[in-house]
Amino acid sequence: MRAPCITGALWLFGLVSCGPGAPSALTVTVEDGGGGPVFLARVEIDGPGGVDADLTGGEGISRFEGLASGRTLVSAALEPLCPSQAEVDLGPGQDGAVTLVLVDRLDLGPDLGQIGFGKTVDVTADVRCGRDPVSWELLEGDPALVSFDGPVANVQTMPLETVVDLDDRPGVVPVGPAASQRLRLRATVGSAGAADEIEVTAAPRAGGVFQVATGADLYLNGGATGPYSFELVDTPDGSASQLEDAASRTPRLRPDLFGTYRVRESVGGVEMDLEAGRYDEVPRDCGRVDCHPSEAEGFALTAHATTFDRALAGELGPSFDERCTLCHSVGSDPVVFMGGFDDVAAARGYEIEVPSDVTAVPSKVRVLANIWCTSCHGPGRIIPRDDSWEWGAKYSAGVCAQCHDGAPQAATRVAEWRRAKMSRFSLDPDDPAVQRGCARCHSAQGFVAWQRSGSVAALPDMRTAQPITCAACHDAHSSGRAQLRVAGGEEGSLALCATCHAAQASPEVPQDRDERRAPHAPQGEIVLEAGSPHSFADACAVCHMAGEDPLVGRHTFAMRDPERVPNGAACTGCHPGATDLDSFLALGDWDGDGAREAHVEEVDGLIDRLEDDVTNVANDLESDACGGREPAGVGESAGRIVLVDGAGLDLGDCNGDGRIGADESSAVLPADQGDLYEAAFALLEATRDGSHGLHDPVGQPRGLQRAITSFGRSPAPAWDRR
C-alpha cells in the first residue's frame, strides 16, 4: 500500500518524505455488529499526509503504510450498513491499529415467539443512521393482525377462543398453524435497501397431548363449565414455572425443566399430569425391537419417516428451506427453543442446501430430521396406558393439525374434516361414542381397538372419547395405501367406509326379525349391491372426496357445500357435463305418477309412497305404551324399529326425554306385524341411506317398488323397470 502523502511529496531515488520523523503504519479492521469481518468495505484515511482509501479483504482488514504522523481520521462504509469513523493519533514510526464496527442500518430486535392470545405488541424499527423512511412488508401471515405506522408495526393477536374450537372437556389446547398466528415482517429503509425481518407468533404449535416441550407455552382447557380455579401443585425440583391467568378457562404454563407438572382445577376436581422435556433430550429408541417392533417396522416405510431426506435430495422442490422444517423435522420452531431440529442445527452450524447428500448432515442433527415418534407423541416421558385421559389425547385431531391444517392445499385436511359430521362429539352421556356396541364406529379409540382385537374392551368415557379423527381411519405406523386401517382388494378404500357404514341388520336374519332390528347406516351395503353401477373400487372416495374446493368433497366428505350447492366434481368424472346432482333424469317413471322426472325426485316419490303406506298401518295399531298412546308412525330407538309419536319419539318414552328409562319400555312392533316390519325396514333403509337413490341408481328404485308391492297396502301401478 503506497503512502497517502504523494501530493506535495518529494520522490527521489525511491525515498519518500512525508514530514518530520519516521513513517508510520495503520491497520484498520472492519467488523459487523456481531464481530464478524466485513469484506469489501471502503476504508478511507485523512491525515497530515493527505487522503487515501482501500477496500477490506476477506478478513475485513486494510493496511496503510508510510503514513505521516499526527491526528488521522479513519472511516469505513459499506451499504447498507451504517458507516463508522474514528480519530487516531499516530506517532512517528508507530504501527497503529483501529477497529471500526459497521452496524446494521436497521434493527427490528429479536423475534417474538409467544406473545400470547388477544395481545398487542409494537415492533419498532430502529433506524441507526440516516433519516430515510421505513417501508413494511408482510411476508407471511394474516394481514388483519398487523397495521403499520411509520417505523412501527402494530401486531394484535386474536383471542384463543376465536382461533381454536375449544373442547367442552378439560385438557390441553391444540394449537395449529392458523391458531399460532405466525407473522413474518420485513422492514426496509434507504435507497440501498437495508432490511431486517422479524417473526411474531401468539404461541407455538401444539398437538393437544400431555407430553409437552420445555420452553414452549401451553394452554390448558378447563372445559365448558366455569368458574375456574387452577393451581400448579407439583413441579420438578428447581422449576420456576408458574401458571398465568389461573382463574380463566385457558391458563398458560411454560414448563422450564424436564419432568412432571401436575395441574389441578379445584372447582371441577380435575388433575392433569404433564410430562415435559426437550426434543434433543429424548433418545431415539422408540423403535427398538424390545418395545415397539411392529410400529417401528411399518413407520420406517412411511413418507413421514423420509420427508426431510427426500426434501434434501430435491424431491420436494428447490424452495425447501429452514422454514419448511416446522413440518419436515422434529421439534422445529423458528422463535422458541425446544431442543428441536432447528436449535441443534444452529448449534452445529448446519445449514440446509438443496440438493445435498443427507449423509453429510451432522449426526446430532440427523436424529431430529424427518418425522418420528415425538413429532406426534411429544418430547416428554411416555404416558402410561393406565392414565386413560392423557393416553387418549393422542387420538385427537390436534396431533395431525400441527401440520395438516394450513397452506399449502395438501395441508388443509383437518380444516376440511372439521366440517364433516364425523368430527362432532357431544357431552351427552348417551352419545354413541361412549356406548357399548356403538363406540367401535363412533369413537376413534373404539374403532382402532375394534380393528386390532375385534372388540372394544376399554370403553371410552366422557373425558377421553374422541370422535372419528384422523387416527381412526389412518394408521400413522402403517406404510399401506394412504395409511388406511382397512383397505380391501377389489373394494379399495370403500372397504374402510363400509366397515361402519353398514346396515348391521336384515329382515332375512331370524334374530334381527324377532328383535325388530333397524338398519343403522346402510350406505356401504347399498353401494356394494350386486349390479350397482357405483360398486367399484374406491367408490366412496371418488364421489365424496372429489374436487379441489375445501368446502365440499375432500375430507369434508360432503356432497353439497354450506350453501347446499351440489359438488359437480363428484359426477363429471363419469358423466361429463353433469354439474348438478338433481339434474340426472330418471330412466323411467319409477314412482308411477305419470311423469318421468329427475332421478332423485322419482326415488323420493317412491319413498313418500312407502312412508304413507307404513304410516297408515301404524296409525291403526293399538298400543298400551304409556297408558295407551296413539302411534303416528314408525322410527328407530336403541337399534330397533318402534312405533313413534308425532315428534318422532319412541311411543314408550313416557316423559319425552328422548330415552327409554328404567321404568319405560320401547314400543316395538307387535309380533304379528312381520309385513309391517319388512316395509318399515325398507323405508328406514332408504331414508337413512340419504342418497335419494344415487348410491345404487338401479337397485334402490326397484327395491322400493318391490317393498310397496309386497306390503300391498295401496294399489301398485305397473312399475316402469327400465
Q: Are residues 86 and 158 in the same domain?
A: no
Tens digit of pLDDT for each residue in 609-651?
A: 999 999 999 999 988 889 888 999 999 998 999 999 999 999 9
Whether residue 699 is predicted with pLDDT greater than 70 in this model: the reply is yes
Per-residue pLDDT, 650 = 93
Q: What is the CATH number of the domain that holds 58?
A: 2.60.40.1120
Q: Are residues 601 and 652 in the same domain?
A: yes
Phi/psi class of residue 35: alpha, beta or left (left: φ > 0; alpha: ψ in -120 to 50)?
Answer: left
**Interstrand relation of 42-47 and 70-77 (parallel, antiparallel or unpaired):** antiparallel
Tens digit of pLDDT for each residue in 482-513?
A: 999 998 778 899 999 999 999 999 998 999 88
What is the C-alpha separation between 646 and 652, in angstroms, rounded?
Answer: 13
C-alpha cell at 616: 297408515
Whether residue 88 is predicted with pLDDT greater than 50 in this model: the reply is yes
Nearest Cα neighbor of 70 from 115, 23, 29, 34 is 23
**Is 113 a domain residue?**
yes
Per-residue pLDDT, 716 = 78
Measured in degrees and rounded to the nearest 5, phi and psi for residue 97 equal -150, 145
Q: How confident is the model at residue 568 (pLDDT cuts 50, 70, 90)?
A: confident
Mean pLDDT of the chain: 90
Q: Are residues 153 and 36 in the same domain?
A: no
**Is 536 a domain residue?**
no
Torsion of CA 316, 322, 327, 330, to 10 degrees: 120
**Is 350 a domain residue?**
yes
**Is 5 a domain residue?**
no
pTM: 0.85
Q: Residue 352: CB partners within 8 Å, gap ≥ 6?
A: 312, 320, 321, 322, 325, 345
Per-residue pLDDT, 295 = 84
Using a CB cutoff of 8 Å and minimum separation of 24, what contacts does 489-497 make?
A: 490/537, 491/528, 491/537, 492/537, 492/538, 492/541, 493/537, 493/538, 493/540, 493/541, 494/524, 494/527, 494/528, 494/537, 494/538, 494/539, 494/540, 494/541, 497/523, 497/524, 497/540, 497/541
Q: Are residues 704 and 605 in the same domain?
A: yes
Whether residue 427 is predicted with pLDDT greater than 90 in this model: the reply is no
**Is 518 a domain residue?**
no
Tens digit of pLDDT for each residue in 148-201?
A: 999 999 999 999 999 999 988 899 999 999 999 999 999 999 887 899 999 999
Q: How confident is the model at residue 408 (pLDDT cuts 50, 70, 90)?
A: low
Mean pLDDT of 275-304: 80
Q: Cβ distance 674 to 681 under 8 Å?
A: no
Mean pLDDT of 345-353: 96
Q: How confident is the model at residue 18 (pLDDT cuts 50, 70, 90)?
A: very low
What is the C-alpha separation between 361 and 532, in angstroms, rounded?
Answer: 55
User: Which of residues 190 and 557 earns the better pLDDT score?
Assistant: 557
Q: Are residues 134 and 84 in the same domain?
A: no
Q: Are residues 639 and 702 in the same domain?
A: yes
Per-residue pLDDT, 131 = 87
Tens digit of pLDDT for each residue in 360-406?
A: 999 999 999 999 899 999 998 877 766 666 667 889 999 999 999 87
Q: Are residues 224 and 187 in the same domain?
A: no
Q: Cβ distance 16 to 86 under 8 Å?
A: no
Per-residue pLDDT, 263 = 97
Q: Which amino acid is at 311?
A: A
- In total, how many domains does the chain have? 5
Q: Are residues 191 and 229 in the same domain?
A: no
Q: Cα–chain-centroid distance for residue 101?
A: 45
Q: Cβ distance 525 to 532 under 8 Å?
A: no
Domain end call among 85, 102, 119: 102
**Is 416 a domain residue?**
yes
Per-residue pLDDT, 318 = 92
**Is 116 a domain residue?**
yes
User: 511 burial class (0-12, 13-18, 19+ CB within 10 angstroms)?
Assistant: exposed
Q: How confident is the model at residue 604 (pLDDT cuts 50, 70, 90)?
A: very high
Q: Find the domain containing 172 and state its range.
A: 106-200
Q: Are residues 249 and 348 in the same domain?
A: no
Q: Cβ distance 356 to 293 under 8 Å?
A: no
Whether residue 419 is predicted with pLDDT greater than 50 in this model: the reply is yes
Q: Cα–chain-centroid distance for residue 191?
A: 41
Per-residue pLDDT, 391 = 67
Q: How confident is the model at residue 283 (pLDDT cuts 50, 70, 90)?
A: low
Per-residue pLDDT, 433 = 87
Per-residue pLDDT, 13 = 28
Whether residue 7 is predicted with pLDDT greater than 60 in this model: the reply is no
Q: Are residues 593 and 705 in the same domain?
A: yes
Mean pLDDT of 575-594: 83
C-alpha cell at 348: 452445529
Q: How confident is the model at residue 710 (pLDDT cuts 50, 70, 90)?
A: very high
Q: Are residues 98 and 117 in the same domain?
A: no
Domain end call among 102, 129, 159: 102
Q: Residue 211: CB partners within 8 Å, gap ≥ 6?
A: 274, 275, 276, 277, 374, 377, 378, 379, 380, 381, 382, 383
Q: Are residues 244 and 356 in the same domain?
A: no
Per-residue pLDDT, 75 = 98
Q: What is the CATH number of the domain that holds 174?
A: 2.60.40.10
Domain end call among 51, 86, 102: 102
What is the C-alpha separation between 463 and 272, in angstroms, rounded?
Answer: 12
**Is 477 a domain residue?**
no
- At what angle are helices 699-711 and 599-619 packed, to 10 degrees? 30
Per-residue pLDDT, 434 = 86
Whether residue 19 is predicted with pLDDT greater than 50 in this model: the reply is no
